[in-house]
């Protein structure tokens, strides 16, 4: 299979590229290295089936050619991470919304029959959800008063609408996974992701910085479990008549953990003597930060479609990251 990955030097993109190269597929990755890194793909570039282009995919002049060749396209390139999203709201719109439009329009012009995966996010659920586990058909509520994360959440919601529209009008075979807190090798803590930051702080003997009181709850999914389910979803047949085409599907792990307990878990598993330091949200992210207290996916739909059962426990993921960090420095954090 010919695979095209936008954002292919980022966290999820690198793991996907490794997965497909190991399966004998040909992978073309494009990335502007704004949050991805050459370090992530240093081993991949040794494979003859892997080709990397450093480019802003909004201006990339090979897009049509590569889209036309692709059997499967993962569209991951986006402005991500709390810090970047809050600091660069206009880039969020340019890259996430205009970029997705360019990709889908190009695929439509090529009459592409590729399986196209457009990455969405649990952020689309906004901040005012009342049910404990989030279902794809929940109504969504946004407040105009909300802070910096709303732009990202809405950009991902617009991506879903764009994907659905191109599916409906041009017959593109698009699936829309909503990712919930993915974690694993190649993730950096630099832009706000919590687990690599905690591990790096624990290994350095520095205090683990918990934002707020640490009672916020998250569900973390190992990237390798996530990739398996994406592969299955893509295979199910994403033709225009398919029940998955143009529909959002939660992809995540349902196990919940409070961030304070996550910090304690990382300290215990690293054997670190680090302490926990609480940092108020407005100090971490600036004023008007809209904290989300809980974010747990309902994965009934994913289970029904793919039989999804995660294989990696959070403890195993953390231990694996520690092993990789100690042996290869695969985990980066500023
Ligand atoms: N990691 C998570 O927990 C999570 C959760 C929900 C959704 N997502 C989505 O998954 C996708 C991948 O996220 P990730 O965690 O791997 O983040 P990431 O930052 O590691 O990956 C995004 C990649 O896109 C690249 N990129 C950004 N703008 C670009 C441009 N204009 N041209 C080319 N490349 C560009 C970045 O350099 C980076 O390598 C994103 O769309 C994100 O919104 C991730």
pLDDT tens-place string over residues 5-32:
999 999 999 999 999 999 999 999 999 9
Does 142 reside within a domain?
A: yes
Residue 276 lies in a domain: no
Residue 286 lies in a domain: no
Cβ contact 183:317 at 8 Å? yes
Kindly state the average pLDDT of the residues 268-276. Answer: 95
Q: What percent of the chain has pLDDT over 70?
A: 91
Q: Report if residue 317 sits inside a domain.
A: no
In a domain, 136, yes or no: yes
Is the CB of 19 within 6 Å of ligand 1?
no
Task: Answer whether 56 contacts ligand 1 (Cβ < 6 A).
Answer: yes
β-strand 208-211 against 276-279: which pairing, if any? parallel
- Long-range (24+ apart) CB contacts under 8 A made by 44-48 are 44/14, 44/17, 44/18, 47/21
SS3 state at 204: coil
What's residue 327's pLDDT?
Answer: 55
Tokens linked to 5: 């990955």
- Asked if residue 291 is part of any domain, the answer here is no
The closest-lying atom of ligand 1 relative to the alpha carbon of residue 119 is 41
CA–CA separation, 155 and 149 (whole Å): 10
Nearest residue CA, atom 34 of ligand 1? Answer: 31
pLDDT at 334 over 60: no
Q: For ligand 1, what atom is nearest to the CA of residue 187?
A: 20
294-297: strand order across its sheet: 133-134, 294-297, 217-218, 257-258
Express each pLDDT in 39-90 by its tens digit.
999 999 999 999 999 999 999 999 999 999 999 999 999 998 877 888 898 9
* Distance of alpha carbon 236 from alpha carbon 229, whole angstroms: 11
Residue bearing the bigger pLDDT, 293 or 36: 36
Does residue 70 sit within a domain? yes
In a domain, 167, yes or no: yes
For 114-169, the pLDDT digits (tens) are: 999 999 999 999 877 667 789 999 988 887 666 667 889 999 999 999 999 999 99
Range of the domain at 308: 2-187+220-254+296-312
**Predicted local confidence at residue 146, as pLDDT:** 65
Q: Is residue 326 very low, low, confident or very high in pLDDT (cuts 50, 70, 90)?
A: low
Cα 95 to ligand 1 centre (Å): 10
- Residue reference for tokens 């190269």: 21
* DSSP symbols for 20-84: HHHTT-EEEEEE--SS--GGGGTTGGGSTTEEEEES-TTT-TTHHHHHHH-SEEEE-----SHHH
Domain count, the chain: 1
**Ligand 1 atom with minimal separation from the 94 CA:** 31
Given a cut of 50, is residue 303 above it in pLDDT?
A: yes
Q: Is the pLDDT of residue 219 over 90?
A: yes
pTM listed for this prediction: 0.94
185 within ligand 1 shell (Cβ under 6 A): no
Tokens describing residue 47 = 């494979």
How many helices, marked H, and strands, marked E, lie in the chain? 12, 16
Q: What is the mean pLDDT of residues 270-279?
A: 94
| pLDDT at residue number 202 | 95
Q: How far is the CA of 76 from the centre of ligand 1 (A)?
A: 5
Mean pLDDT of 182-202: 88
Structure tokens at 181: 């807190």
Task: Decide: 196 in ligand 1 pocket, CB within 6 A.
Answer: no
The residues annotated with a catalytic role in the active site are 152
Least confident stretch, 54-63, 187-196, 200-209, 279-288: 279-288
Q: Find the 241 Cα to ligand 1 centroid distance in Å.
A: 29
- Specify the CATH number for the domain of residue 100: 3.40.50.720
């Amino acid at each position: 299979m010919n695979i095209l990955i936008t954002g292919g030097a980022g966290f999820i993109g690198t793991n996907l590229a490794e997965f497909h190269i190991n399966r004998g597929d040909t992978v073309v990755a494009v990335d502007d290295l704004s949050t991805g890194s050459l370090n992530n793909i240093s081993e991949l570039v040794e494979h003859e089936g892997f080709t990397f282009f450093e480019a802003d995919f909004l201006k990339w002049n090979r897009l049509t050619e590569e889209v036309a060749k692709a059997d499967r396209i993962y569209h991951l390139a986006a402005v991500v991470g709390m810090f970047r999203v809050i600091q660069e709201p206009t880039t969020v719109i340019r890259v996430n919304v205009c970029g997705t439009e360019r990709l889908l329009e190009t695929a439509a012009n090529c009459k592409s029959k590729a399986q196209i995966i457009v990455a969405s996010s649990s952020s689309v659920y906004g901040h005012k959800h009342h049910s404990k586990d989030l279902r794809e058909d929940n109504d969504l509520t946004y407040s105009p008063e909300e802070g910096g994360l709303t732009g990202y959440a809405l950009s991902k919601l617009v991506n879903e609408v764009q994907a659905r529209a191109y599916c409906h009008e041009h017959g593109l075979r698009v699936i829309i996974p909503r990712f919930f807190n993915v974690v694993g090798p190649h993730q950096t803590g630099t832009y706000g992701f919590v687990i690599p930051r905690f591990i790096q702080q624990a290994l350095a003997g520095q205090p683990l910085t918990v934002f707020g009181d640490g009672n916020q709850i998250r569900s973390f999914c190992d990237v390798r479990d996530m990739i398996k389910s994406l592969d299955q979803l893509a295979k199910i047949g994403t033709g225009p008549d398919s029940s998955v085409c143009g529909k959002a599907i939660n992809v995540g792990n349902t196990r919940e953990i409070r961030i304070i307990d996550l910090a304690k878990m990382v300290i215990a598993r690293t054997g670190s003597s680090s302490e926990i330091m609480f940092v108020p949200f407005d100090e971490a992210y600036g004023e008007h930060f809209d904290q989300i207290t809980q974010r747990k996916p309902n994965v009934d739909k994913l289970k029904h479609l793919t039989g999804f059962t995660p294989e990696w426990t959070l403890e195993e993921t953390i231990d694996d990251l520690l092993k990789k960090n100690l042996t290869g420095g695969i985990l980066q954090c500023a």
